[in-house]
Amino acid sequence: MIEQDSEIIFNKRVASDTFFMGLRSPRIAADARPGQFVMIKVGQGIDPLLRRPFSICGVSEDDLVLILYRVVGRGTTIICDAREGELLSVLGPLGSGFERPQKGEKPILVAGGMGIAPLIFLATTMKPGSLTFLAGFSSGEEIAAADEIGLSGIYISISTDDGSAGHRGLVTELLKDRLAGFNGNINPVVFACGPLPMLKEVAAITLDKDIPCQVSLEASMACGLGACQGCAIRRSSEQAMAYYHVCQDGPVFDVNALDWEAL
């Protein structure tokens, strides 16, 4: 784990309330794996005190760590106002990453909203024709152009709640359709990140069909280092250690490892 003052190389608006930022962090970029995250200190002083967690959306050949983020509150408003050349303190890479698909498995990536960020990184490590990428948004105005966020060459099936782009409805409906279309020779493996209700539905679908699935969870995080207990979630089975820390044991978990009713 590395703490590095990282220069903002670009920080541009790519969709409604959504920004794409490149931070020069050579050592973090060298170690980063899809599914890991960074904790970013959003201001120079002690206010706001806590760093904010963001998935690593990719790394570029020129040592940039790429972040795709939505402006939702104070910290992300400060970040979106930061200009090229400014330095942000970045801590990472943190947490576990996705385990790569086994030979012969067909990866299906399922994203909800900003949950697309870690899945973009994962997708860029796979052959473009080998994966199925499904992404759901509230509305078309939340969707960034693929080439603006490092995704050119990868086809994404879109759903929107309001029907303004792609399939009208939920991304989990797209997932059910895809799985229904597969014959017995295809071994799907699902990678998902998004809001909790979406992940619960993905878990129900994959557990029911006994399909391997890894989910990347979000939780409130104060430290990101396993020290504050703020991100504890229940394991699926009664063990001596009944809880995981999302920041250290996750944020990526096998779907079987979690107590979905307690989440």
Which stretches of the chain bind ligand FAD, using CB under 6 A? 37, 52-55, 68-70, 72-76, 114, 117, 218-221, 251
Q: Which does 117 bind (CB under 5 to 8 A by kind): ligand FAD, ligand FES, none?
A: ligand FAD
Nearer to ligand FES, 158 or 217 (CB): 217
Q: Which of 255, 247, 260, 215 is nearest to 96 (CA)?
A: 247
**Which residues are within 8 A (CB) of 127 and not within 5 positions of it... i.e. 6 or more apart?**
none
Burial readout 159-194 (b: 16 or more C-beta within 10 A, e: otherwise)? bbeeeeebbeebbbebbeebbeeeeeeeebbbbbbb
Stretch that binds ligand FES, among 28-36, 131-139, 206-214, 226-234 (CB under 6 A): 226-234
The Cα–Cα gap between 229 and 41 comes to 20
The Cα–Cα gap between 228 and 176 comes to 38
Angle at which helix 171-181 crosses helix 196-209, to 10 degrees, equals 20
Query: Considering Cα of 155, then 161, then 165, then 170, what sign does the dihedral take?
Result: positive
Question: Scanning residues 230 to 249, which ones bind ligand FES (CB under 6 A)?
Answer: 230-231, 245, 247
Nearer to ligand FES, 33 or 245 (CB): 245
Establish if 228 lies at the interface with ligand FES (CB under 6 A). yes
Q: Nearest-CB residue to ligand FAD?
A: 73
Q: Which does 228 bind (CB under 5 to 8 A by kind): ligand FAD, ligand FES, none?
A: ligand FES
The secondary element (H helix, E strand) that includes residue 171 is: helix 171-181
Establish if 229 lies at the interface with ligand FES (CB under 6 A). yes
Q: Which does 258 bind (CB under 5 to 8 A by kind): ligand FES, ligand FAD, none?
A: none
Q: Which does 245 bind (CB under 5 to 8 A by kind): ligand FAD, ligand FES, none?
A: ligand FES
Min separation Cβ 253 and ligand FAD, Å: 12
Nearer to ligand FAD, 76 or 160 (CB): 76
Establish if 1 lies at the interface with ligand FES (CB under 6 A). no
Question: Scanning residues 204 to 223, which ones bind ligand FES (CB under 6 A)?
Answer: 221-223
Establish if 189 lies at the interface with ligand FES (CB under 6 A). no
The secondary element (H helix, E strand) that includes residue 120 is: helix 116-124
Contact between residue 123 and residue 151 where contact means Cβ atoms under 8 Å apart: yes
Q: Which does 26 bind (CB under 5 to 8 A by kind): ligand FES, ligand FAD, none?
A: none
The amino acid sitting at 52 is R
Q: What share of the chain is helix, strand, coil (3-state, %, to 5)?
A: 25, 35, 40
Nearer to ligand FES, 26 or 226 (CB): 226
SS3 176: helix
Q: Which does 226 bind (CB under 5 to 8 A by kind): ligand FES, ligand FAD, none?
A: ligand FES
Instruction: Name the site residues for ligand FES (rule: CB under 6 A).
Output: 221-224, 226-231, 245, 247
